[in-house]
Amino acid sequence: MSQRPRFRAWKVERFRARSGEPLGLSSEGDTAQAAVDSLRRLIAGQINEGSLLVALDVPTEGNPWKRLAGMLPDDHLTRSWEQAVSEYRKQATPE
């Protein structure tokens, strides 16, 4: 499993790396690499003690609103409504 650790400078010349949930682990080091290496050992220790981590790939289909585009029927009622909206906007918006 691949985790993306977050790390930041902490104190002077110290770095902290943190894993996400569910483990919520954190480690420190003199360099970013040392902090990540320490975090890697902590995560490995949790897995060796029986923790199970599973990566999920959740597919996305882009913009969820896109499937609703163009839902109005092309008929007389819809065209009349669009015309009324257009006329109202012209009256309500001073030029």
User: Mean pLDDT over residues 36-45, rounded?
Assistant: 93
Which residue do the tokens 């003199």 mark?
Answer: 30
Neighbours of 35 (CB within 10 A): 23
The domain ranges of the chain are 6-48
Please report which confidence band the pLDDT of residue 10 belongs to, taking 50, 70 and 90 as the band edges: low
CA distance 60 to 17: 29
Model pTM score? 0.49
